[in-house]
A and B are shown apart, each in its own frame.
Chain A
Amino acid sequence: MYPYSSPRSDASLPKARPLHRFLQGPTTTMTASSDVSTAAPSTVDDAEVARFSAIAAEWWDPAGKFRPLHRFNPLRIAYIRDALARRFNRDPLAPQPLAGLRLVDIGCGGGLLAEPLARLGADVVGVDAAERNIKVASVHAAETGVTVDYRNTTAEALVVAGEQFDAVISLEVLEHVADVPLFITCCTDLVKPDGLLFFATMNRTAKAYVTAILGAEYLLRWLPRGTHDWKKFLKPSEVAEELRRNGAIVRDLTGVVYNPLDGSFRIDPRDVQVNYLLFAEKVA
């Protein structure tokens, strides 16, 4: 549903526009960003960095084009944080609750999830098949001084490289994947035994068709038309079955519900009709 993880959204990214009006005028002297452009002058094209920086600013503007995503991002981060804290016996409200955990975010887009997870203490690898997304995410992380290991690669390639993680996170990606069983097998292979897998995707229901395709693409125009193909949406039972086949058991399933009246989102375990979030534990 959200374009940062959609390969097709690449072509539709908007041009940069002024982010905010600042009373003291724009400053570009924040040390973090100047470090980026001076650290490796031989390999970094300044004009290109500026271009990606502008795209990143657009993605990260909570009042901008991706406003709906920003409004539900805190909910899903809290969901992941709480599940990981429970699984690994941490206090979810303490500073750096994810310290020492190695996570991979597959389909990381501009880093809207990878970066906050890193700020919560995790070692995060951010993976995206679109090179441009990786550049945008890297530029932003450098600007904000957060360390994320961004890689322009795929889940399959990570498996081949023998990478292992405490948790694999892949949100709003399943509905765009060509071979779902293969993708879920790869994700499970990347998780250490007793580790967790997080997925968010769209349910194949009439309500999801009306909300996500007619609503988000045609009526509200949050997304370019054609972003989603309803036939590729997955029922929670189908995801659970694929996971079970690979030795992972779904531990929690919840809905993410949009309230059109005030533009807010909420986590609602009773309504998984449109957008849902689940996590599974690898038991074998």
Chain B
Amino acid sequence: MANSNSDSEHRTTTGDLTTEVVVVGGGLAGLSLACALGTAGVPTLCVDRESPEQQAADGFDLRTTALAHCAKQVLAGAGVWTYLAKDAQPINDIRVVDQGSLLHVHYDHRTIGDEPFGYVLDNAVIRAGLFQRVAELAAVTHLAPAAVHSIERDPAGVRVTLADGRRLQAKLVVGADGRGSLVRQSAGIGMPRRSYNQTALICNIGHEFPHHGLAVESFTPNGPFAVLPLTGNRSSIVWSERSDRAKLYAKLPDDLFVAEIQRRVGEFLGKIHLASGRAAYPLSIMLADRMIDHRMALIGETIHAIHPIAGQGLNLSLRDVAALAEVVVDQYRVGLDVGTVDVLERYQRWRRFDTLTLAGVCDSLVHLFSNDLPPLRIARQLGLGAVNQMPTLKSFFMRHAMGTTGQLPRLIAGTPL
């Protein structure tokens, strides 16, 4: 248990813990929400299956995350960014390449301002920063390891019973327990899944030459291949490959695997070597039918799991966090019930459009680029070439990638919650 104190909870005569919000799931989305709510003083309990020690163990999560500017703002507003800044590698340039052709788009952040496009961090770094922040917030209690046994919702509130028999009372339960969310299933909300028949092969590499903050995304017929800069002379590899071929690559010994990566990265980083373990994740798109139910809100991968093609997964989740935190905090600060249907509908209305457009865009990108049909190939070459020639369109895409279009929650706009 990270911390437990009197501001975030008190006990009823029956021994139940009472709070305002119970967040089920202590992943990046769930803990970020707890930090955002806690920063505004909203009593919050986060129920997490794994203890921080288990999660710190090497290999729990090898992935890296590209945080767009908007996502960084959310973490800054939640008081987490101070713990991450020193380990965050800014992305200064993005190069998008269609493999086998000479056409590419080059995005330079200096054309739209001083801020980098985003930052790349090891998930383990983000997780450690979230634990540090949670520990210093009096309004947040992190219950870990703890598993949810049942969730009962009625007009007056929510009661969550844990596997060890403890009971929590709250006004709102938030599902942040990933794509297989039990919270979502308990409300009977469906989440149709479509497989891309692609698998992402993930690892970190060390290299001879500095990357100068350059991110490269190459589109190949078998799937996108991304090289994202990490701090030091390190980069993160996200290699999406047709699943049957990925299975074979995953079985290669390290030296042959590195040789395959070297062949795809090219020479600009010099000689490369493996700097972490290797992992493989099958890719699919999943979108939940709804984001809310009575006294329940869902965030992050419980409602959307998208292709990593544009590096938007966690960014989308942090936009959920910003919107939900805002509607809950506004309601809490006028002394009203934070779990009522009008609050939840405001959250869903705010998030639905953004989620659907982004998921749709990423989905079409996958189909457009993971394809070798000549008409599509010509179309995308023309498209990339055209985007490069049109500064306004390019700037719009860059702003969208940074997440700074549309009506913004305060956390994203950089104003205090």
A143 to B187, CA, bound (A): 24
Q: Say yes or no: B154 contacts A26, CB within 8 Å.
A: yes
Q: Contacts A62-B340, A74-B334 given: A20-B155 contact, CB under 8 Å?
A: yes
Whether A74 contacts B331 in the complex (CB less than 8 A), given A24-B153, A30-B159, A31-B169, comes out as yes
Are A77 and B336 in contact, CB atoms less than 8 angstroms apart? yes
- Given A63-B342, A116-B335, A120-B335, A23 and B188 touching (CB < 8 A)? yes
Answer whether residue A71 sits at the interface, using C-beta atoms and an 8 A cutoff: yes
B407 located at the interface, meaning its Cβ lies under 8 Å from any Cβ of chain A in the complex:
no
Question: In the complex the two chains form, what is the Cα distance from A109 to B9 in whole Å?
Answer: 30
Q: A71-B342, A119-B335 are in contact. Are A24 and B152 (CB under 8 A)?
A: yes
Known A-B contacts A22-B294, A23-B186; A62 and B334 likewise in contact (beta carbons under 8 Å):
no
Residue pair A77, B334 in contact (C-beta under 8 Å): yes
For B153, give its contact among A22, A77, A92, A116 (CB under 8 Å): A22
**What are the residues of chain B within 8 A of A73 when measuring CB–CB?**
334, 336
**Which residues on the B side are within 8 Å of A93 (C-beta)?**
40, 333
Tell me the smallest distance from the CB of B279 to a CB of chain A, in Å: 36
* CB under 8 Å from chain B, chain A span 140-189: 143-145
CB atoms of A27 and B13 under 8 A apart: no
Contacts of A77 in B (CB 8 A): 334-336
Q: Does B14 contact A (CB under 8 A)?
A: yes
Tell me the residues in window 289-331 of chain B with beta carbons closer than 8 Å to chain A beta carbons: 293-294, 330-331
A93 vs B14: C-alpha distance when bound (angstroms): 32
Which residues of A have CB within 8 Å of B169?
Answer: 30-31
Indicate if the CB atoms of A20 and B334 lie closer than 8 Å. no
Interchain nearest-CB distance for A263 vs B (Å): 11
> Are A62 and B342 in contact (CB-based, < 8 A)?
yes
The secondary-structure label for the interface of chain B is loop
| Inter-subunit contact B154/A27 (CB<8 Å) | yes
Give residues 326-376 of B contacting A (CB, 8 Å): 330-331, 333-337, 340-342
B271 vs chain A, min Cβ distance (A)? 54
Distance in angstroms from A122 CB to nearest chain B CB is: 9
Given known contacts A62-B340, A62-B342, A63-B342, A31 and B335 CB-to-CB distance under 8 angstroms = no
A73 to B331: give the CA distance in the assembly, Å.
10
Complex: chain A residue closest to B18, CB-CB: A145
Contact A116 B334 (CB under 8 A): yes
Is B221 among interface residues, defined by CB-CB distance under 8 A? Answer: no
Tally of A interface residues using CB under 8 Å: 37
Contacts of A19 in B (CB 8 A): 155
Give A14-46 as 1s and 0s: 1 = Cβ < 8 Å from B's Cβ atoms: 000001111110111011110100000000000
Q: A24-B152, A26-B154, A31-B12 are in contact. Are A70 and B293 (CB under 8 A)?
A: no
Verify A30–B156 contact, CB threshold 8 A: yes
With an 8 A cutoff between CB atoms, is A213 at the interface? no
Cα distance, A117 to B336, chains bound together (Å): 9
Given contacts A23-B293, A70-B342, A71-B342, contact A115 B335 (CB under 8 A): yes
Tell me the chain B residues, 1-27 only, with Cβ under 8 Å from chain A.
12-14, 16, 18
- Please tell me if the beta carbons of B152 and A27 are within 8 angstroms of each other in the complex: yes
Q: In the complex, A21 Cα to B152 Cα: how many Å?
A: 13
A interface vs B, CB < 8 Å? 19-24, 26-28, 30-33, 35, 57, 62-63, 70-71, 73-74, 77-78, 81, 92-95, 115-120, 143-145
A–B complex contacts, Cβ < 8 Å, 30 sampled:
A19-B155, A20-B294, A21-B294, A22-B153, A22-B294, A23-B153, A23-B187, A23-B188, A23-B293, A24-B151, A24-B152, A24-B186, A27-B152, A27-B154, A27-B159, A28-B154, A30-B159, A32-B12, A33-B156, A57-B155, A62-B341, A63-B342, A74-B330, A74-B334, A77-B335, A115-B335, A116-B334, A120-B334, A120-B335, A143-B156
Nearest 3 A/B pairs, CB to CB? A116-B335, A119-B335, A77-B334
Interface residues of B (CB under 8 A from A): 12-14, 16, 18, 40-41, 139, 151-157, 159, 169, 186-188, 293-294, 330-331, 333-337, 340-342
